[in-house]
Chains A and B, each alone.
Chain A
Amino acid sequence: MTRLLLQSAVSGLLVGGLYGLVALGLALSFGVMKILNVAHGELLMAGGYATFFAFTFWGLDPFLSLPLVLVGMFAFGVLLYQMPFQYLIRFETERRIKNSLLISFGLVLILQALATRFFTGDLRTITTSYSSEAFVISLLGTSIRIPWVRAGSLALAVVAAFLLDWLLNRSGFGRAVRATAEDWTRAALTGIDVRRVYLIVFGISASLAGIAGSMIATGYNVSPTIGLTWTLKALIVIVLAGLGSMRGILVAGIILGLTEGLAAVWVGPFREVVALVVFLLVLIFRPQGLFGRGAYG
């Protein structure tokens, strides 16, 4: 029993890192641009397929193709911003959120259909030479298996979270981003090019989704319809962390992963309900989130 519990907790922790990574990108575009991109999971799916095809056709290792995915998905994000999303920035916050929700919902349909049409509905997984290898650690008298690729994705999530934190809090561009997030009209008055900030932020958001997708295709699997499940997890993580709080996101992701992992042991088929109940309890008793400061960002 101890072994089962610990193994589930470790699996939960590892998938929780990915929840955090997916949520980082979504929280960035929502926090800064007030655009709720429910197609974030579809961007992740695109990144997953890019990694999969780079591996299948060119034999490129999924960890080595990360820079390519990063750049490619940044470009894709910029393109998406230029097509529908830039028409939303003339609205005030509430209407921007509502319309972005609807527009990205349309994008979900389009991207899913295109993926099904061109990549078929099959589940795809990247199987590298080291995919089945794991390192074993002893804990409380039992041994726990940790697959290398999943440990690698947790490490990537941590690195990405720290880099993003540095970018937002320590760089000049980050200052512009934070000013825009707080009040875009006044940010524009101080000479910040708000459109450029939005463009770059949406690109970063898409590339974060893309590398998360690479890791999901490597450690788990990718199919045209995986997007929504991941978007939902990311949304729950963002609410857990508190809207507007970037620093708590990775921790909130890991908390969600752990909760689900342990719930799977105790309540088996009802584990999804546990996550929902945790989510509702947090919303009711701590609407500012676990790590949030104020009510709204």
Chain B
Amino acid sequence: MGRYLVPAAWVAVAAGSVALGLVTESEQVLVIGIQVFMLAAMASSWNVLGGFAGQISLGHAAFFGLGSLITRHLWLAGSPLWTALIAAALATAVVAGVVGLPLLRLRGIYFVIGTLAMGVAVWVTVGNVRPLTTTLPLEQLRAFKYTGPYFIALGILALNVVVASWLRQSKQGLGMMAVRDDEEAAGASGVNALGHKMLAFVVSAALAALVGGTFAISTVGYYPNYPFHVVWTFDAILVVFIGGLGTIVGPLVGSAFYVIGREVLPESLIGFQPVLFGLLFITVVLLLPGGLVEGWQRIFRTRGRPTGDPPLPNTGEPGLTRGKELV
């Protein structure tokens, strides 16, 4: 019985999301759906690099932005949507491979600073080179509907989940987690540390580019450098940690919690939403390093398939010994 519970829950959530998209007449519901799916997919793609391979990247928005730039350009030039998305993912993967070479040689704190510098540099440069807003042409604007983007966002999210789940139980994923837990030890036991980090970096970038493509086709008008803004990275990280780092469901739970939490917040508290989530985030980092997923497991002591990593052995430190090493 317990064996089928988790797959059944997945099927139920997926079917529910599809049904919601087909049934609803409300534009607001579709927009919220797109936001949840995009954020969840973005968080899940960050999780591949940050949660599996243990590399904290603060420049993830660069790949999201690059995906949106390429998709938007090709799409408005008249190429079919799928071609545009695939081209964006491939091109971004190549770019990630090139910038990954110097960046991934950096360790720990240097990698964090390097990726942050990359993200901000790209954001400012795109803003300088393309300062004008991009808007849909009038005839497309008239026909614009959120139903199509809703299903594309859902599809991209599904792809993200499938890739992440496959990686988690594959040999490559195992290598990534070995590098995360101890790079020296992994290298000493024959794991190609740089290769595994590179794989995580490229896969994570290509997935983020697809999400960026979704943003490009679901938004009527925006500044071309807006998707490059660091806030996309920050939201993804926030959601991953609140949900549960290194897990598959963590990013999904976190994003639903984040976006829906924003919607149900009373009017007077709207401006304070980042304050509340910031406080929640700090609390999670200090008290519950496994995020909401771990909290759930602690409360209900689910015995089925563990969704998170097995707890680390107690190292004798008081308190927070279960946090996963990242830097």
Binding site for B on A (CB under 8 A): 36, 84, 87, 90-91, 94-95, 97-99, 101-103, 105-110, 112-114, 116-117, 228-229, 232, 235-236, 239, 243, 268-270, 272-273, 275-276, 279-280, 283-284, 287
Contacts and interface: CB of A to CB of B under 8 A. Distances in A.
B275 interface: yes
Interface in B175-224: none
Contacts of A273: 121, 125
B56 interface: yes
A94 B326 CA distance: 9
B281 A109 contact: yes
A126 B153 CA distance: 46
Interface stretch (B15-23, B249-257, B266-274): B266-274
B33 to A, nearest CB: 24
Given A113-B274, A272-B125, A236 B237 contact: no
Interface residues of B, number: 45
A279 B317 CA distance: 37
Given A273-B125, A279-B114, A101 B56 contact: yes
B133 to A, nearest CB: 17
Nearest to B235: A109
Interface stretch (B34-42, B74-82, B102-110, B294-302): B102-110
Interface in B230-257: 230, 234, 237-238, 241
A283 B101 CA distance: 13
A105 B237 contact: yes
A233 to B, nearest CB: 9
Nearest to A284: B102
B4 to A, nearest CB: 36
A84 B112 CA distance: 21
Contacts of B110: 239, 283, 287
Given A113-B271, A235-B113, A280-B102, 4 more contacts: A103-B285, A109-B275, A110-B278, A283-B114
Interface string B257-291: 00000000000000111110111011001100000
Nearest to B279: A110
A114 to B, nearest CB: 6
26 contacts: A36-B112, A91-B317, A94-B108, A97-B327, A98-B56, A98-B326, A98-B327, A99-B285, A101-B112, A102-B241, A102-B281, A106-B278, A107-B278, A108-B234, A109-B277, A110-B274, A110-B278, A112-B274, A113-B271, A113-B275, A117-B272, A232-B116, A235-B117, A275-B117, A276-B121, A283-B114
Nearest to A270: B125
